[in-house]
Structure 1
Amino acid sequence: MYDLLFRHVLRRIPAEPIHGVAFGAIRGVAGAPLIGPCVGRLLTASDQVLQTRVFGVDFPNPLGLAAGFDKDARGPVALSRLGFGFVELGTITARPQPGNPAPRLFRLPADKALVNRMGFNNSGADAVAARLAALPAEGRPVLGINIGKSKVATPEEAIDDYRYSARALGRFADYVVVNVSSPNTPGLRDLQQVGVLSPLLEAVREELVASVPGRTVPLLVKITTDLAAEDVDAVADMTVKLGLDGVVATNTTTSRAGLRTPADEVAALGAGGLSGLPLAEAAQAVVGTLRATLGPDRTIISVGGIFTGEDAYRRITAGASLVQSYTGFVYGGGTWARMMNTELASLLHQNAFPSVAAAVGTA
């Protein structure tokens, strides 16, 4: 049903406006006081094999909604009721910013992919903190907070900029992700260099310790598939050395290799990060590389090209403790998360795994 609607109606409407309409509908239905809990009971997979505990946090299932869908914490409860085990909010910057000029989000249906150059459009850390403070304690989902550099912050100001976001938002987070891998903020990817990244992460962790007394907030860093293999190893080594909780892998790519969409059509869309199915092979490989270096004690959250329960299962057995998707959800529709979890639970049972944790890294 959704596939027919997407092919014949939704794909004919520009991507960013329809995102706003769809997200509004999700909040209006799944976020409603009476209907919302019923939606949650209908779409949440209840198989206990999916429950998992990662860095001290209990997740009802390992499938999360990746950062980018809800940048401003406008509907995390509604989104979780669609069947997601956790929702990663953001990317959020210290200062409010409009992002890049529209149009800035495009579909490549032949590739089940998206191209975006959103530019971290969000209302800023203080506004997001106010919304999170207003969330009721009951029914609150597991929340990741993804923070990035404000566009106007100079390289010299980057550490203080990230510190501000960590201070404002850390108390609401079940985990925090430092995003240094979007291609849409000038100079951001330069922060992936270990010599620059290490003091940045140490500063954010210091801020979280100071601003969230009595609780250790897990800290992860998000990287891209565009890193060379030796740089992935360097980030993994740094993660171990600094005692970080893990890595989110991977962000969008600037590569346009191997697409089915005609090259002239792709070129006409302009710059931006590519997400979706074309990332699957590279993202899978990064998980294996990271797990070999990180060892068993640190978390990998795998994202990029996850569309089916089998995709999620392969990432988990390669070494990911949790998985995320954004583009798969866009192409799959409102019941997609339940379908994913049902298929993943079936694969875990078929292969005699009593839990998600028991399957991690077994391949």
Structure 2
Amino acid sequence: MLYETIRPLLFSLDPETAHEFSLASLHVLGRFLPAGKPAESDPVQLMGLSFPNRIGLAAGLDKNGEAIDGLARFGFGFIEIGTVTPRPQPGNPRPRMFRLPEVRGIINRMGFNNHGVEVLVANVKAAKYRGILGINIGKNFDTPIEQAADDYLACLDKVYPLASYVTVNISSPNTKNLRQLQGESELDDLLGRLKARQQQLTETHGRYVPLTLKIAPDLEPEQVTTIADALRRHRIDGVIATNTTISRDKVQGVRYAEQQGGLSGAPVFEASTAVVAQLAHALAGELPIIAAGGVLDGRAARAKLDAGAGLVQVYSGLIYRGPGLVGECVRATADHRHSAAPHPSGPARAA
């Protein structure tokens, strides 16, 4: 009810200004109020982690980990922050975020704007939150694609001691050539290097931190199969499906539809859910799927589980529905019995 009251004010602001205002408010809220607790409902064990419920925050909302404690009060079963890069970068020129309220969509071309991994690490250390925390990592825009793995490894080294799991983002459409890393040979090389470093870090820190890969919705079925094979071959711990789409099929004629960037929200629901189903078929339960894309109500969250996901993330839905969306989705997925085979890589522990 409160969000319905303030949403017109937020929607009267430029989308990025509203985003910044909301994050700043959540930062203050988290600083002065006791730590929030997740809604306890149908806990699930995946990737060696115990999730108190199946609904999480997708990366992108809190890139620098500035508002973790405020966001924790929404009742999420897990929170993912980032995408973070080794060095700070401003991202693409503004304006770079556009609302499409007629279809409950958002287009963004932020370009991995963030303060760099050192700032994110400091923010995580300062947070009171002790739940499951995913950290999403990427490459700097000016790092040649041939050297992208070096950026991912640099971030992995920094965030590993603090993360419950680490997500490798190779699917944003807003960093030049990034999606090339979804190609068979490029992906094979990247995953091989990340898995080797994960094993080294496990020995160094005495704890196993799962790795997940975030992929795009704009993939042909054979590409999804190729990615699934690579995930199994390299014993990656999970996959997030999906990022934003570059397709405009669902928003033809809508204001701002011509803007460049990734489209999220309701228009990406069908494509992202189709990728979840394709992955579920290809992986046959060998590793868990975290679904993201177009979850604006409890039915959509349930549909993601029915397609084969074990967990669900929200982001754009929060813009249109507010924090009440989290509780609705938790309730809608509470009685879903999703089984996932234990991963052979070994146990993991939350940070």
TM-score by length of 1: 0.88
Q: Which residue in the other structure is 2:21 paired with?
A: 21
Q: Which residue in the other structure is 2:185 paired with?
A: 195
Q: Which residue in the other structure is 1:207 paired with?
A: 197
Q: For 1:277 and 1:321, how far apart are their aligned partners in 2? A: 20
Question: Out of 242, 248, 256, which is 2:240 matched to?
Answer: 248
Residue 176 (structure 1) aligned with residue 170 (structure 2): no
Question: Out of 107, 110, 114, which is 2:106 matched to?
Answer: 114
Q: In 1, are the aligned partners of 2:247 and 2:263 still within 8 Å (CA)?
A: yes
Q: Which residue in the other structure is 1:72 paired with?
A: 64
Secondary structure, in 3 states, of the residue corresponding to 1:239?
helix
Give the deviation of 1:188 after TM superposition.
0.4
Secondary structure, in 3 states, of the residue corresponding to 2:333?
helix
Give the deviation of 1:194 after TM superposition.
1.6
Higher helix proportion: 1
Q: Which residue in the other structure is 1:266 paired with?
A: 257
Q: In 1, are the aligned partners of 2:121 and 2:158 still within 8 Å (CA)?
A: yes
Q: Which residue in the other structure is 2:40 paired with?
A: 46
User: Any unmatched runs of 5+ in structure 2?
Assistant: 342-351
Residue 97 (structure 1) aligned with residue 54 (structure 2): no
Give the deviation of 1:263 after TM superposition.
4.4
Q: For 2:339 and 2:283, how far apart are their aligned partners in 1? A: 17
Q: For 2:216 and 2:195, how far apart are their aligned partners in 1? A: 21
Residue 81 (structure 1) aligned with residue 61 (structure 2): no
Deviations 1:246-294 (A, max 9, x none): 211011011111226x346422xx2100000011111111111101111
Q: In 1, are the aligned partners of 2:39 and 2:77 still within 8 Å (CA)?
A: no
Q: Which residue in the other structure is 2:347 paired with?
A: none
Residue 62 (structure 1) aligned with residue 63 (structure 2): no
| Partner amino acid, structure 1, of 2:265 | G
| Partner amino acid, structure 2, of 1:243 | R
Secondary structure, in 3 states, of the residue corresponding to 2:94?
coil
1:9–1:127 distance in 2 versus 1, CA, 3 Å: closer
Give the deviation of 1:344 after TM superposition.
2.7
Give the deviation of 1:132 after TM superposition.
2.0
Give the deviation of 1:161 after TM superposition.
1.2
Q: What is the aligned length?
A: 338
Greater Cα shift, 305-314 or 271-280: 305-314
User: Any unmatched runs of 5+ in structure 1?
Assistant: none
Question: Out of 166, 170, 192, which is 2:156 matched to?
Answer: 166
Give the deviation of 1:301 after TM superposition.
0.5
Question: Out of 304, 317, 334, which is 2:306 matched to?
Answer: 317
| Partner amino acid, structure 1, of 2:39 | A
Q: In 1, are the aligned partners of 2:301 and 2:332 still within 8 Å (CA)?
A: no
1:98–1:233 distance in 2 versus 1, CA, 3 Å: same
Residue 297 (structure 1) aligned with residue 278 (structure 2): no
1:46–1:163 distance in 2 versus 1, CA, 3 Å: closer
Deviations 1:4-55 (A, max 9, x none): 542x3322211000111111222222x134x344xx36xx4333xx211111
Q: Which residue in the other structure is 2:344 paired with?
A: none
Deviations 1:54-81 (A, max 9, x none): 1110111110100000100112222122
1:97–1:315 distance in 2 versus 1, CA, 3 Å: same
Q: For 1:340 and 1:246, how far apart are their aligned partners in 2? A: 21
Deviations 1:193-248 (A, max 9, x none): 02101111121222222234322211111111111111011000111111111211
Q: For 2:254 and 2:90, how far apart are their aligned partners in 1? A: 30
CA-based RMSD of the aligned residues comes to: 1.8
Q: Which residue in the other structure is 1:327 paired with?
A: 316
Q: For 1:78 and 1:211, how far apart are their aligned partners in 2? A: 30
Q: Which residue in the other structure is 1:357 paired with?
A: 338
Question: Out of 116, 120, 125, which is 1:128 matched to?
Answer: 120
Q: Which residue in the other structure is 2:4 paired with?
A: 3
Give the deviation of 1:156 after TM superposition.
2.4
Q: Which residue in the other structure is 2:345 paired with?
A: none
Q: For 1:99 and 1:340, how far apart are their aligned partners in 2? A: 32
Q: In 2, are the aligned partners of 1:316 and 1:359 still within 8 Å (CA)?
A: no
Q: For 1:114 and 1:89, how far apart are their aligned partners in 2? A: 19
Give the deviation of 1:334 after TM superposition.
2.5
Q: For 1:46 and 1:159, how far apart are their aligned partners in 2? A: 38
